[in-house]
Each structure stands twice: as C-alpha cells, then as structure tokens.
Amino acid sequence: MIDVAGIGLLRPWFLLALPLVVVLGFLAARRVSALGGWTRVVEPRLLDAMARRGGVVAGRGRRNLVLAALGLLLAVALVGPAVERPATESFRNLDGTVVVFDLSKSVTEAKNFEVARAAAQDALAASGTRQAALVVFAGEPFIGSPFTSDHAALSRTIFGLDRATVPVPGSRPALALDLALEMLQGAGIVAGDILLVSDGGTFGEDTRASAARIAEAGFRIDTLYTESAIGRDGNPGELAALAALSGGVSGDASDASAVAAALADNAAQRIGASDFRALAWVDLGPFLLLAACIPALMLFRRTA
C-alpha cells in the first residue's frame, strides 16, 4: 500500500492499467468518425453516392466512449483507493497473569522439570483471554516475555526454558515476585494472578514480605510445587503459605488442575482502552464498481 495526499492505494500495481485504458480510450475517440473503417475498404465516390441517396447512417461512436469510461472506472477500482477510518479505538483486557518460573539448579536438574513446564503451560491455557507475561529467575530475575494476548507464543517460550536460560546461579524468589508486581502495576492490570512455579527452596522472610506487598496491592499468588533435585531443599509448605497469604491456590506440578481451575474462574472481565490504535482503511473500490454499473448498463440500450 502507498499513501498519496492522504489517499491510500491498497493495490498500487494496478496503476499500470490506467495508461493502457487512457491510450485505448484515445484510439477509440479517433475512430468516432461517421464511417469508421469503411472509408478504407469502399471507394470514396461510392460512399458519396450512397450518402446522397441516404444509404449511409453516420455512427456517433458513443459506445466506444462508454467502454472507455467503464474501463477507467474498473481500473481505478482495482487500484483500491482508500481513506483511513478516524478514531479507531482498540481495547485490551485489564486482567492478567504473570508466570514466575524458578530456573535454579535444584529445579532444572530435577526429574520432573518437564512436568513443571507442562503444568505451567496448562495453567496458562486455562487463563483464557487474559493477558499473560513470564518472569524467570535463579540468582537474578529476568523478564521472559512482556504482557501479551498470544498465549500460544508464550507457551512455546515456556517449553524452551532450561538450565541455560538464566546465566546467574542461585535462587532469589523475592526479587522475582517484586518484578512480577512491578509488571502488573506498570501494565495497569486491575485484577491479576502471579503463578509461581518452584520447589520452595531458599524461601525466607524477604519472600514472605514480597508476597505481602502483592496481596496488599490486590493481586493473588498461586503456586505449583515441583520436586527438587536436592530433596531436603524442597519446601511445598512454604509455597502453600505464600498462596494462602494472598488468597491464592496451591498445587503440585504433577496435578495442576486446582490451580488451572482457579485461573479459569478469574477469566478476563474488565477491558480498557489500549495505547495502540488499529490502523483501519475503508476501501472505496467496491463503491467505484457500483458506479461502473451505470456506463455498463448504457451498453445494453437499444439503438435504431
């Protein structure tokens, strides 16, 4: 598409047809003489004699001009002139889910790490049309994906998580929860859930303080426990306590149905204006095709 003086041309390659139509119309106009090509095959004296006796009816060539006008309208319609639709609003959900995935060594080296990824994907699918984002953490938290409504793309990102995704060793869940809260507030989310997938290791007072801030902000923490590669470091009770602190639901990665059901019960119910505007153009081509019907109908007129 190209823009010419505020008029969009959706199919500009059809502009090549316009010179052809103009040339054909010019040639047709030159052939509007009384007898057209008969002057080349009949002797002039014979034509004059026939004309004096009334045997020659002069043609007016209007049919050629009508055909030229019809061709011009069709060519312009195919070009697709369009005008931009003013004040086209777009909307977004004000409900969101942030998946916070623990990629510390004790989680990624556990036998059921693939199960944990699949559980996060299932819980994400249950959130319906809500916006979703991803935070991954080990020694430091990182944004794996900003808020998006494309859950399929986000699910593929979760599927690709592994021990090399976060290069900083360690486990600092409190920072990850703080980052998730910052994302929810920064995106203007009215009602949101944080889905924490972890083995509960290295959770302490700072993690509970982060969970308290999340609950105070009106958001909820749901948790999925995944077994630890180091058995003594796993702490499902700590995950359940974080969920209870914010009114969330806790579950196990091997059976994420309860958490998925909780996310499904909180389907998006609030919408607001988006910062983006839909780029909408009204194609005037169909209207020009209707206008082309007028010269087309004139071709069916009976003539004497």
Q: What is the pLDDT of residue 58?
A: 58
Is pLDDT at 56 greater than 80 in this prediction? Answer: no
Share of the chain above pLDDT 70, in %: 81
Q: What is the pLDDT of residue 289?
A: 86
Residue 30: pLDDT band (50, 70, 90) is low
Q: What is the pLDDT of residue 101?
A: 96
Is pLDDT at 272 greater than 70 in this prediction? Answer: no
Residue 43 phi, psi (nearest 5): -60, 140
Q: Where are the domains of the chain?
A: 2-87+279-298, 92-273
CA distance 94 to 89: 16
Measure the CA angle with vertex 115, ends 113 and 117; round to 5°: 75
Q: What is the pLDDT of residue 243?
A: 92
Is pLDDT at 273 greater than 50 in this prediction? Answer: no
Residue 21: pLDDT band (50, 70, 90) is confident
Share of the chain above pLDDT 90, in %: 35
CA distance 97 to 213: 17
Q: What is the pLDDT of residue 276?
A: 45
Q: Which CATH class is domain 92-273?
A: alpha beta
pTM of the model: 0.60
Q: How far is CA 74 from CA 67, 218, 266, in A?
A: 11, 60, 53
Is pLDDT at 238 greater than 80 in this prediction? Answer: yes
The residue written with tokens 């010019």 in the block is 26
**65-114 residue pLDDT tens:** 777 788 888 888 888 888 876 655 544 567 889 999 999 999 999 888 99
Of residues 17 and 87, more confidently modeled: 17
Measure the CA angle with vertex 78, ends 75 and 80; round to 5°: 120
Residue whose C-alpha is closest to residue 140's, from 198, 185, 179, 84:
179
CA distance 182 to 180: 5
Strand partners, 254: none
> Are the C-beta atoms of residues 193 and 221 closer than 8 Å to each other?
yes
Of residues 9 and 32, more confidently modeled: 9
Average pLDDT over residues 152-168: 92
Q: What is the pLDDT of residue 215?
A: 93
- DSSP states of 15-77: GGHHHHHHHHHHHHHHT-SSSGGGGGTS-HHHHHHHHHTT-------HHHHHHHHHHHHHHHH
Q: Please state, rounded to an integer, the average pLDDT across all residues of the chain.
A: 82
